[in-house]
Amino acid sequence: MPKLDRYLLRDFVQSVLATLIVLLAVSMGGVLVDVLGEIADGGLPARLLLSQLGLQLLVYLPLVLPLALMLGLMLAVARLYRDSEMAVLNAVGVGPRRLLRPLLMAALPVVAVVALCSLWLGPWAKRTGERMVEQANRSLIVAGLEPGRFTLLPGGGGIVYIDGMSEDGRNLQQLFLQRERDGRLDVVTARTGSLEFGGERDRYLRLLDGHRVEGPLDAGLDFRLMRYAVNEVALPERAESRQDDDPALAPTAALLGDARPAAAAELHARLAPPLLALGFALLTMPLARSSPRQQRYGRLMLGFLAYLVGLNLMFIGVRLIADGDVPRLLGLWWLTLPLLALAAWLYLRDGRLPRPRRGATA
């Protein structure tokens, strides 16, 4: 590999990695807020926090990586112009077109990772996350109830203490439950119990052979004591699960033969990110061109705006395909192919060096 290519490739890779780290930190902060909100509402077990964050990272990588690639390359190319290194290269006959090889060496691996995450790892992460949540919601162990400790139920469901539990996490022994509802205190004890389900999202504890005491939180003597054979206590609703035939959970190969508009929209939503990443990578060279005294981040904001426009057009196109307003064969090709053609034309046009005048040396 020529020394110039090694130098530029190292500069491009370092800039892209630094940008990716910053974008991942920002995006994972938003994902963490969403996951914590589901945990607080009781729809997602707290023990699945880290696993769900890791799986969500694979889902969002096809959207974050193209932006990191574009901004990282723009920062690296803008530095070449700002430090007059590009002027020196042009003076010795090395124009922007010559930088295509190191640029593609840095961009193509990222495009391959985007394609891998978009076509395979992302759908796999969605299916795995749904399966983990479904299994966790059917187990008292993963839901946070452990023998010998007081557990605060999410969503203000009360405080639970259990003395024993079966190995599968479905049956329990010697339960104590305290709740506060409508200004009244509710204390329930039971000898045995089990976790039951009713409907798609409803779940409750079925308690057997116990006592229940209910009374006011403030002053008053309006207490009631009852003994029951069976008592059902509702738990916070589970997170809404997807249907088994949801195109978002289907493998990419299965979407090829699916005639539903939603499946076509999901297929094109997976095919578009790698093509957009390649188009944005080629746009970095003409967008990053600047004079040595020009503002450093002016063109960077222009590139970020171009990415937002392309991403929003992709989301709009996916919605139009799902609604049947855009034919399946047309898909998102109206967005990706013109973007690639425009990026290639701008790169080749920007990469031309001016020819020296014949009478300049005279």
- Is 273 inside any structural domain? yes
13 and 114, same domain (yes or no): yes
Span 233-238, average pLDDT: 65
Total domain count for the chain? 2
114 and 260, same domain (yes or no): yes
267 and 202, same domain (yes or no): no
- Is 142 inside any structural domain? no
Domain's final residue, options 205, 234, 263 = 234
* pLDDT for residue 99 is more than 90: no
Task: Check: CB of residue 138 under 8 Å from CB of residue 197.
Answer: yes
pLDDT at residue 115, rounded to an integer? 94
- Is 357 inside any structural domain? no
In 217-361, the DSSP E strands lie at 224-234
> What is the distance, to the nearest Å, from the Cα of residue 153 to the centroid of all Cα atoms in its chain?
27
pLDDT at residue 362, rounded to an integer? 42
What's phi and psi for 175, nearest 5 deg? -105, 145
Span 29-43, average pLDDT: 76
175 and 251, same domain (yes or no): no
pLDDT at residue 64, rounded to an integer? 92
Identify the bridge partners of residue 160 per DSSP, sorted by sequence position.
Answer: 151, 177
256 and 121, same domain (yes or no): yes
* pLDDT for residue 142 is more than 50: no
Q: Which helix (H) or strand (E) holds 86?
A: helix 85-91
What confidence tens digit (pLDDT) does each residue in 301-314 have? 888 898 999 999 99
- What is d(CA 151, CA 144) in angstroms, rounded to the nearest whole number? 7
What's phi and psi for 92, nearest 5 deg? -100, 10
46 and 178, same domain (yes or no): no
pLDDT at residue 165, rounded to an integer? 80
Domain's final residue, options 234, 255, 276 = 234
* pLDDT for residue 360 is more than 50: no
Span 48-68, average pLDDT: 89
Q: Which residues contact 253 (CB under 8 A, 6 or more apart)?
A: none
205 and 344, same domain (yes or no): no
- Is 248 inside any structural domain? yes
- Domain with 179, as residue range(s), is 150-234
19 and 127, same domain (yes or no): yes
- Is 359 inside any structural domain? no
Span 194-212, average pLDDT: 76
Q: DSSP readout, 175-238?
A: EEEEEEETTEEEEEEEEEEEEEEETTTEEEEEEEEEEEEEEESSS----EEEEEEEEEEE-PPP
Task: Check: CB of residue 165 under 8 Å from CB of residue 143.
Answer: no
**Higher per-residue confidence, 345 vs 90:** 345
